[in-house]
Amino acid sequence: MRTQSTIQILRCLTLGRYTARVVDGELRIRGPQPLAGPLPASIRVRRDELIDFLSECCGGVWPPAPDSDAYNVLRERRKSQRKLRWRPAA
């Protein structure tokens, strides 16, 4: 079994209603329930990658901060998906 990619990990955090934050170079994850025990292996393996991605592209937080590159990409993607939705002829 392969480890999850950075984006897959962030999607899982979103689905579980967890947030991630980089504080003093450390990854902090919070959510509706405390994480019991150590972080899952996929997060441990990609910890540095997650920290770099959050710091460089997301304003240090997940979900991305409103003034971050990742936020703008997600906003544009949502706009384009709305335009592509099928609408019946009038």
Rounded distance between C-alpha atoms, residue 56 and residue 14, angstroms? 19
Spatial contact of 31 and 24, defined as CB atoms under 8 Å apart:
no
pLDDT in tens, 7-59: 888 988 899 899 999 999 999 999 998 877 777 777 888 899 999 999 999 99
Residue ranges per structural domain of the chain: 6-84
Residue pLDDT, tens place only, 13-25: 899 899 999 999 9
- Those residues whose C-beta lies under 8 Å from the C-beta of residue 32, and which sit 6 or more positions away, are 16, 17, 18
pLDDT the model gives residue 42: 77
Task: Give the alpha-carbon dihedral of 38, 43, 58, 74, to 10 degrees.
Answer: -120
pLDDT of residue 67: 92
